[in-house]
């Protein structure tokens, strides 16, 4: 029986080898082209895209208050409009409006430029600062646990409204199971003058794709340790947490919203975000978003992507 099985296996292998070859007019044997099939078991949002092979979902900012890796391929361009509203403990309201341009650069770098407009609850707004932000990912996606990315920002303020501000962040993020995404940021921000306010923050988010590639829901949090000159030993500790949602209206247009609630007396009562973003793609209008674009079939990859944090390609 074993011998018959071996002969049967040999016959199939031989037939497959002949089927993959043909003979030209000179009698030379030519190989037929190999056909590779895409692994359809991987969700579209988890498919690797671009030079870094990051999953497709990273191209649209998933968490308003937490960044993950880089969003743009070299020379791709996107824009985002932000509205952040804070309801303070004393009942007052403050608003922040941000208009941002995102530009992908080579070597896993992204440059963001944006204007910051501040306002109160009575509709009085003023120009606050012009902000320059850059991020650099340490490696291609999945090569290092958490996909660490260094972030630096400088805010050139209107001197009438306050001093310049510099900020550094370490960004981490990944997906630990199908449809589940996470991100955590460690933040250091300081004023260059005035009260010399210094903030250490930890922000984070967890999301689940209810409708793959269309609708995601989750939770976000913010911890803030805030001090000023002359009172470094008396920090204010703030912790807010609440739900978030993302609606990807089209392949290029996304809307994010979140509302975090304060958990102690030092915390704002509520912090709300609304973000609307649009991706234009590269110089030719091309974008790597969408199912299977720039996706190498599993049978042709030297290393097959596994969308689980901590797995190395």
Percent of the chain with pLDDT over 90: 71
pLDDT, position 4: 44
Is 91 domain-assigned?
yes
| Closest listed residue to residue 288, CA positions, set 90, 73, 85 | 73
pLDDT, position 123: 81
Residues 107 and 201 in one domain: yes
Is 305 domain-assigned?
no
pLDDT, position 42: 73
Taking all residues of the chain, what is their mean pLDDT, rounded to a whole number?
84
Residues 8 and 72 in one domain: no
Q: Is this model's pTM higher than 0.85 or not?
A: no
Question: Longest Cα pair distance anywhere in the chain, in angstroms?
Answer: 91
Rounded mean pLDDT, 154-177? 95
What's the CATH number where 125 sits? 2.40.160.40
Quote the CA–CA distance of 138 and 297 in Å, as a whole number: 25
Residues 22 and 133 in one domain: no
Residues 139 and 282 in one domain: yes
- Asked if the model's pLDDT at residue 143 lies above 70, the reply is yes
Write the pLDDT tens digit of every residue in 198-213. Answer: 999 999 999 999 999 9
Is 16 domain-assigned?
yes
Residues 19 and 100 in one domain: no
Rounded mean pLDDT, 21-26? 55
Residues 8 and 145 in one domain: no
Residues 284 and 202 in one domain: yes
Residues 156 and 234 in one domain: yes
Residues 122 and 65 in one domain: yes
Is 310 domain-assigned?
no
Domain count, the chain: 2
Write the pLDDT tens digit of every residue in 115-127. Answer: 999 998 788 999 9
Is 36 domain-assigned?
no
Residues 23 and 69 in one domain: no
**Residues 171-205 as b or e (16 or more Cβ within 10 Å = b):** bbbbbeeebbbbbbbebebbbeeeeeebbebebbb
Three-state DSSP class for 18? Answer: helix
| Closest listed residue to residue 246, CA positions, set 235, 234, 232, 257 | 257
Write the pLDDT tens digit of every residue in 274-306. Answer: 999 999 987 755 455 544 444 443 333 443 334
| Closest listed residue to residue 245, CA positions, set 257, 229, 233 | 257
- Domain boundaries, position 18: 2-31
């Amino acid at each position: 029986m074993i011998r018959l099985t071996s002969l049967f296996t040999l016959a199939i292998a031989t037939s497959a080898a002949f089927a993959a070859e043909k003979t030209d007019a000179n009698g030379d044997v030519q190989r037929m082209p190999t056909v590779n099939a895409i692994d359809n078991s991987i969700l579209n949002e988890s498919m690797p895209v671009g030079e870094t092979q990051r999953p497709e979902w990273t191209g649209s900012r998933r968490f308003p208050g937490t960044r993950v890796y880089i969003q743009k391929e070299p020379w791709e361009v996107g824009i985002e409009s932000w509205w952040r509203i804070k309801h303070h403990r004393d009942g007052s309201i403050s608003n922040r409006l941000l208009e941002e341009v995102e530009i992908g650069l080579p070597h896993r770098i992204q440059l963001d430029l944006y204007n910051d407009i501040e306002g109160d609850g009575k509709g009085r707004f003023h120009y606050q600062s012009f902000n320059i932000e850059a991020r650099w990912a340490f490696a291609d996606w999945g090569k290092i646990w958490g996909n660490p990315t260094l972030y630096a920002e400088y805010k050139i303020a209107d001197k009438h409204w306050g001093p310049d501000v510099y900020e550094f962040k370490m960004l981490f993020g990944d997906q630990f199971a199908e449809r589940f995404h996470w991100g955590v940021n460690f933040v250091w921000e300081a004023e260059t003058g005035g009260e010399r306010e210094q903030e250490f923050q930890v922000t984070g988010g967890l999301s689940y794709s209810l409708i793959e590639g269309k609708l995601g829901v989750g939770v976000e949090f913010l911890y803030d340790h805030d001090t000023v000159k002359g009172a470094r030993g008396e920090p204010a500790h703030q912790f807010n947490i609440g739900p978030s949602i993302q609606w990807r209206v089209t392949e290029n247009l996304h809307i994010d919203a979140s509302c975090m609630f304060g958990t102690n007396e030092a915390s704002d009562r509520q912090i709300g975000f609304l973000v609307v973003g649009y991706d234009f793609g590269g110089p030719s209008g091309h974008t790597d978003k969408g199912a299977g674009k720039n996706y190498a079939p599993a049978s042709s990859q030297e290393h097959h992507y596994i969308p689980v944090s901590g797995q190395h390609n």
